Structure 1
Amino acid sequence: MSQTLVEIEQGIAAGAPISAEDVRAAQARRSQQDILVVLDDDPTGTQSVADLPILTSWEVDDFLWALQDNPAAIYVLTNSRSLAPDNAAKINREVIAAANSASETAGVKPRFVSRSDSTLRGHFPLETDTIVEELSQLDVQVNGVVLVPAFSQAGRITVNGVHYAGSDEEGYVPVAQTEFSQDATFGYHNSFLPSWVEEKTGGKVTAESVLVIDLQALRTDRSGVVSELLASSDRRAIVCDCTCENDLRHLALALIEAEEQGARFIYRVGPPFVRAMIGQEVREPLTPQEIPTPTPSQEVAHGGLVVVGSHVSLTTKQVTKLKEDVSAQSVEIDVEKAISRDLRNEYLDSIVTSVVNGLRNGTTILATSRTLVRGIDETDSLRIARDVSSFVTDVVQRVTAIVRPIFVIAKGGITSSDVATKGLAISRATVIGPMLPGIVSLWRPEEGPAAGIPFIVFAGNVGNEDSMVQVVQKLIAAAHDS
């Protein structure tokens, strides 16, 4: 049974308003310039921020490029959510080493953020453990791992340690009661985050040992919160309640104060945490006039390319609505044929031809078949997902070499990453801002064959049935106005 936010927050004080400027001022008082290095396990973490650099490769030179304009944060797309555990850990180590080296050259102090899914899917505690271990090699001791999965704009909130998903219109339910908890690779049974930590650590960390910073304390007793943060040690798991942007700003001020007194934390968070932590204003959705339009260098399509990999029910509803309202053509990939060694190449040729012909007439949807193909276990499910993604990116690469879409939308986290890095060969980009309030980010690729093409990262589990239509209509209007 769902509950309203008013029911969930009953008896909890509202808390004094905190502005983004308040947080920026606190950051400015730091004794040394800090920069947040965000290890983003899929590209959707950028949907809450604007005007920040994004790296999809992580050599020292890439970090130096990103650091040249003194940003408050750098996003590094690891795409680790799609990887096996060993590979995910390896990439985390590589990013940390390169970030530390470049930061030393640039004279800044990196602080690491492990950005993951607001519905609790991803490699936890593997990734935060890896970061802690790498820092320990540099004699950096971590007081705590701060867990803030809340993402209120997408309907994820945490109260009294319980993480919820839903909306103001339909109400909220504990997240373990949603389809997200049934994920083939990262499923779980607990909504109470201390118990979730115990579950994910296999009992290594008990629920009783997890510190919960509740809303009442966060909103009314900052000194008490700071004291609890300072008292934490030995990478203690710290769960933080949050239902809105103001809560995140209260938390940011407490963390900044604790860090100035010598504490060190690793963050495992949902998308909006970084925005609050660096004191960035909530960016209004981009208008058609603000959307970049590149100078064409080849045949330009009459529409954009919408690549759909996500299988959650909301995505299916959004795609159905897009077909109806925008008259978008659809090319469906049969997953069984796509992963077949015998059929793949011939099938790939036919799909490329269909998509090119579609783009010459208008906006075209490239989607995998809606029945999710699962493996015999978690590892096999990941392998199938990678094989399907490889097929999709081969299609995008070949299509965009023939005709230039007026935009590219990638629907789903893993899909977005693979389309960006493999399909469009994006290595450095800038996140311009959100397409919808607090969600769906637009990147401007800074180099390579896709330079300047608006690339839209659209998480599978955000928005409502009309959201895809709204984004596509805005992009078409931008192209027509240019």
Structure 2
Amino acid sequence: MSNKPKIIVLDDDPTGSQTVHSCLLLMHWDVDTLRTGLRDDSPIFFVLTNTRAMTPESATAVTKEVCQNLKLALAAEGITDFLIVSRSDSTLRGHYPIETDAIATELGPFDAHFLVPAFFEGGRITRDSIHYLIIDGTPTPVHETEFAKDSVFSYHHSYLPKYVEEKTQGQITAETVERFLLADIRAGSLERLLKLSNNQCAVVDGETQADLNSFAVDILAAASQGKRFLFRSAASILTALAALPPQPIAAENMAKYVRQGKPGAIIVGSHVKKTTQQLATLLQAEGTSGIEVNVKQLLDDGENQSAELLSESSEKIKVVHNAGKTPVIYTSRQELTFKDAKTRLDFGVKVSGLLMDIVRGLPSDIGFLISKGGITSNDVLSTGLSLRSARLLGQILPGCSMVITNSDHPQFPNLPVVLFPGNVGDADALETVYKRLSKNTK
């Protein structure tokens, strides 16, 4: 292993690894599993906490538990040189500052915590401390997008110092936030970084990967001089910090991981507009067959309806699979309304439970699995497939990770699984991934 600090990423859904490869994703965070991550040859590993699907209280408790176990694992491995990243959504949805506060309490003190939401593969850039989503070629401030109206994580500012002030309820005021602008980053920031102290909040611009690459060089130089930094970021800064070579197998050749050229299965949980468009395109593709799961029925009488929906869906999947096609299992698309955020999260748990029962019942000889949606993907790995860890192979499309299950998995050994975030890619992206994986299907 190099003498660079180990990069430890607490990921609030499993899509933060969408710009790196050849590292471990951990679904459990007991001390022994964390030690496996610390010992691994890759400079980076991910702990999938799935906190974005939790209440603020649960998110705090889980984050603290991971950090307490991490402290023990680091001590056991004799590692003192590490960087901690709280990886979250590039459109600013998530439990900030709850998670960074919990990390600082358990693993601090830190000299600074940086907000770095830029994610270039997903068209998110930050300029003059304003975070943009590029829509049809036009940079749109994120507070004007559907993501800012999220029923659990809404916000009103794209100007990051104001976003910080809003989210910390004024505990950190906009004026006190340090801003690293494009000009600063391109000229070099080491001197400024060395002066930061007392968990100073800082926001970081980025228009291209090269910007974050040069910022990462300065971060690592400051860390080597004893500065302790914490990050709240999307995926692109991870690429910069890990500085990995290109992935071993190119995206368009990843069909070589498909088991025996068999058709696969696709699970679609995400409800953002982009997913619904991608689903419509995918269902036109040759060799796919759509199976809608009407989750509205779960509102009435959870238990019975769930069992009924499960057996109905499993029966349809079997028929499609036996016909040599790929079933596309998707939740009904109509937007449901809930009286409060907790009711919505609880309903999400119910839906996910049903989808994971469906995953567990998939034919054991499927060639591949594609999971669409961040929280859905997390549940597929940890609950549907009951994995403790998985090896990340790389990206099958910019922003879309592919992992492989262990060879000793009791039901699906060596199964390639695509983790496809809800809001990544163009209208054809899901179909592109399906075609890449099924090009050798017998």
TM-score by length of 2: 0.94
Give the CA deviation at 1:227.
2.6
CA–CA separation in structure 1 for the residues paired with 2:233 and 2:241: 11
AA aligned opposite 2:177: V
Q: Deviations over 1:394-447 (max 9, x none)?
A: 11112x2x44321111101000011111111122111000001x3211001124
In 1, are the aligned partners of 2:255 and 2:438 still within 8 Å (CA)? no
Q: Residue 251 of structure 2 aligns with which residue?
A: 286
In 2, are the aligned partners of 1:306 and 1:365 still within 8 Å (CA)? yes
In 2, are the aligned partners of 1:184 and 1:378 still within 8 Å (CA)? yes
In 2, are the aligned partners of 1:338 and 1:348 still within 8 Å (CA)? no
After TM superposition, the structure 1 stretch with the greater mean CA deviation from structure 2, 387-396 or 90-99, is 90-99
Q: Residue 102 of structure 1 aligns with which residue?
A: 73
Give the CA deviation at 1:228.
2.3
Q: Residue 216 of structure 1 aligns with which residue?
A: 183
Give the CA deviation at 1:290.
6.5
What secondary structure, in the 3-state scheme, does the structure 1 residue paired with 2:63 have? helix
CA–CA separation in structure 2 for the residues paired with 1:290 and 1:61: 33
In 1, are the aligned partners of 2:274 and 2:422 still within 8 Å (CA)? yes
Q: Deviations over 1:103-130 (max 9, x none)?
A: 2222323321100000111110000000
Q: Residue 36 of structure 1 aligns with which residue?
A: 7
AA aligned opposite 1:218: I
Q: 1:186 to 1:478 in 2, by over 3 A?
A: farther
CA–CA separation in structure 2 for the residues paired with 1:186 and 1:62: 31
1:432-451 → structure 2 map (5 Å cutoff): 432-436=393-397, 438-446=398-406, 447-448=408-409, 449-451=411-413
AA aligned opposite 2:278: Q
Instruction: Name which of 237, 251, 256 aligns with 2:215.
Output: 251
Query: Is 1:48–2:12 an aligned residue pair?
Result: no
Give the CA deviation at 1:65.
2.4
CA–CA separation in structure 2 for the residues paired with 1:280 and 1:37: 15
1:122-161 → structure 2 map (5 Å cutoff): 122-136=94-108, 141-161=109-129
Query: Is 1:240–2:204 an aligned residue pair?
Result: yes
Q: Deviations over 1:170-201 (max 9, x none)?
A: 21100111111111111111100110111111
CA–CA separation in structure 1 for the residues paired with 2:201 and 2:250: 34
Query: Is 1:335–2:306 an aligned residue pair?
Result: no
CA–CA separation in structure 2 for the residues paired with 1:290 and 1:369: 29
Q: Residue 192 of structure 1 aligns with which residue?
A: 159
After TM superposition, the structure 1 stretch with the greater mean CA deviation from structure 2, 234-243 or 281-290, is 281-290
After TM superposition, the structure 1 stretch with the greater mean CA deviation from structure 2, 180-189 or 275-284, is 275-284
Q: Deviations over 1:316-354 (max 9, x none)?
A: 111111111234111111112134324222222112211
Q: Residue 271 of structure 2 aligns with which residue?
A: 311
Q: Residue 353 of structure 1 aligns with which residue?
A: 315
Q: Residue 283 of structure 2 aligns with which residue?
A: 323
Query: Is 1:87–2:58 an aligned residue pair?
Result: yes
Q: Residue 3 of structure 1 aligns with which residue?
A: none
Structure 1 residue runs of 5 or longer lacking an equivalent are 1-26
1:370-385 → structure 2 map (5 Å cutoff): 370-385=333-348
CA–CA separation in structure 1 for the residues paired with 2:354 and 2:74: 37
Instruction: Name which of 113, 117, 137 aligns with 1:170.
Output: 137
In 2, are the aligned partners of 1:426 and 1:450 still within 8 Å (CA)? no
Q: Residue 475 of structure 1 aligns with which residue?
A: 437
Q: Residue 373 of structure 2 aligns with which residue?
A: 412
What secondary structure, in the 3-state scheme, does the structure 2 residue paired with 1:357 have? helix
TM-score by length of 1: 0.86
Structure 2 residue runs of 5 or longer lacking an equivalent are none
CA–CA separation in structure 1 for the residues paired with 2:336 and 2:144: 22
In 2, are the aligned partners of 1:326 and 1:469 still within 8 Å (CA)? no
Q: 1:382 to 1:371 in 2, by over 3 A?
A: same
**Alignment RMSD (CA, Å):** 1.9
CA–CA separation in structure 2 for the residues paired with 1:263 and 1:76: 23
In 2, are the aligned partners of 1:154 and 1:439 still within 8 Å (CA)? yes
Q: 1:110 to 1:259 in 2, by over 3 A?
A: closer
In 2, are the aligned partners of 1:291 and 1:454 still within 8 Å (CA)? no
Q: Deviations over 1:120-157 (max 9, x none)?
A: 11110000000000024xxxx21111110100111000
After TM superposition, the structure 1 stretch with the greater mean CA deviation from structure 2, 235-244 or 67-76, is 67-76
Percent identical among aligned pairs is 33
In 2, are the aligned partners of 1:338 and 1:391 still within 8 Å (CA)? no
After TM superposition, the structure 1 stretch with the greater mean CA deviation from structure 2, 145-154 or 109-118, is 109-118
AA aligned opposite 1:359: H
In 1, are the aligned partners of 2:115 and 2:204 still within 8 Å (CA)? yes
In 2, are the aligned partners of 1:306 and 1:408 still within 8 Å (CA)? yes
Q: 1:290 to 1:306 in 2, by over 3 A?
A: closer
CA–CA separation in structure 1 for the residues paired with 2:251 and 2:405: 17
In 2, are the aligned partners of 1:79 and 1:417 still within 8 Å (CA)? yes
CA–CA separation in structure 2 for the residues paired with 1:233 and 1:345: 55
In 1, are the aligned partners of 2:124 and 2:131 still within 8 Å (CA)? yes
AA aligned opposite 1:119: T
After TM superposition, the structure 1 stretch with the greater mean CA deviation from structure 2, 191-200 or 95-104, is 95-104
Give the CA deviation at 1:294.
4.0
